[in-house]
Amino acid sequence: MTIVVTGGAGFIGGHLCRRLVGEGHQVVAIDNFDPFYPRAMKEEGIEDLPREQFTLVEADVCNTGTVLQALHGRSVDAIVHLAAKAGVRPSIETPRAYQRVNVGGTQSMIEVAERLEVGAFLFGSSSSVYGNSDTFPFSEEDSVGRPISPYAATKRSGELLAHTFHHLRGATVHCLRFFTVYGPWQRPDLAIHKFARQLLTGQPITMYGDGTTSRDYTYVDDIASGLMKSLRRATSLEAPEYEIINLGGSETTQLKDLISGIAGAMGIEPDVKRLPEQPGDLERTCADISKARALLEYEPETSIEEGLHSFAEWVTTYYEDRPVLEV
Ligand code: NAD
């Protein structure tokens, strides 16, 4: 099959492209190397993918014409739309930039899918759409009308736009709600990667709040497996469907335990500095993954202990011969 992966040079996108190539597919990654974190890290994550199967197009997903031109002459089986401005906290500072890329860019990729008559569209959504929901664990049936950050609002908007595409064009759409993803090549703004750099450089670990906030952390290989399963289903169905599906790790970890876990995995004693809680951050997340299990036979396989060890190994090696990115 030929699969287009937007944000294909990013953290999750890079892992997905590797899996797709490994299974023999043709992959076109579309990425504009948004300067949110260094281009070099993105390039290094995908540099060994074979050019016969993997094409990287440097383009902005908001630019429908450029994307269509790049895909001219290809028959595309599915689009996995992961390109986005990610991160809750910076979205509070620059909400319009988030709206342009996450809402405008999603509409643009839907138009690309329409023009190329692509029958399967996967959208990378987020657990942030649940806001501070009081039902626990978070289920796809929960009401999600009260986002608490611009980022969350743009992700929910993407899901709604994708529904209109399904309804009007009869395409299959899966909106996958990822729960805090970590692993090798993780985005440097995310907590685990940030803590690792603080540990490597002997700085105190900055902990927002009292450490009792909790997250459902999902290892990136499990997310890639979930995406592969969703793709398989979306490209093989007779009748189109629209589904929102949680992809989580199915265990929750408190921030203070995460800090001791990553420090333990790296063999460094942490010095923790407590800071006030951040506006826009959720208090806790936990995925109900029964729908993913039933529809996709999704089953997260990596425990937080195993995942933190793999991450620690990667991060230590990665910064061995490179300057450690500033925190
Ligand atoms: P990432 O920043 O590593 O990847 C996103 C990629 O999109 C980047 O390579 C960036 O250059 C690219 N991009 C940004 N704007 C673009 C544009 N206008 N045109 C083309 N490319 C553009 O982030 P990630 O963590 O891999 O996240 C991937 C997706 O998953 C995002 O949609 C994100 O919102 C979602 N998500 C991630 C997490 C997580 O924990 N990492 C959790 C929930 C949802």
pLDDT tens-digit series, residues 187-199: 999 999 999 999 9
Are 291 and 177 within 8 A, CB to CB? Answer: no
Are 280 and 91 within 8 A, CB to CB? Answer: yes
Tell me the one-letter amino acid at 186: Q
- Cβ(76) to ligand 1 under 6 A? no
Nearest CA to ligand 1 atom 21: 31
Place of tokens 């937007």: 6
- Residue pLDDT, tens place only, 148-203: 999 999 999 999 999 999 999 999 999 999 999 999 999 999 999 999 999 999 99
Tell me the one-letter amino acid at 185: W
d(C-alpha 288, C-alpha 139), whole Å:
5
Contacts of 311 (CB under 8 A, 6+ apart): 182, 183, 184, 186, 192, 193, 196, 262, 265
Catalytic one among 151, 182, 217, 318? 151
- Cβ(248) to ligand 1 under 6 A? no
- Cβ(216) to ligand 1 under 6 A? no
Shortest CA distance to 291 belongs to which of 157, 174, 182, 193? 174
Are 71 and 111 within 8 A, CB to CB? Answer: no
Are 254 and 204 within 8 A, CB to CB? Answer: no
37 is catalytic: no
Q: pLDDT band for position 282 (50/70/90)? A: confident
pTM of the entire predicted model = 0.98
Nearest CA to ligand 1 atom 8: 10
Q: Within 13 Å of residue 206, how many CA atoms lie on the same side as its CB?
A: 12
Shortest CA distance to 289 belongs to which of 233, 235, 253, 251? 251
Q: What is the pLDDT of residue 281?
A: 84
- Cβ(84) to ligand 1 under 6 A? yes
- Residue pLDDT, tens place only, 84-141: 999 999 999 999 999 999 999 999 999 999 999 999 999 999 999 999 888 889 999 9
Burial of 269 (0-12, 13-18, 19+ CB in 10 A): exposed
Ligand 1, atom nearest to 14 Cα:
26
Nearest CA to ligand 1 atom 28: 82
Nearest CA to ligand 1 atom 13: 83
Tell me the one-letter amino acid at 115: R
Q: What is the pLDDT of residue 279?
A: 85
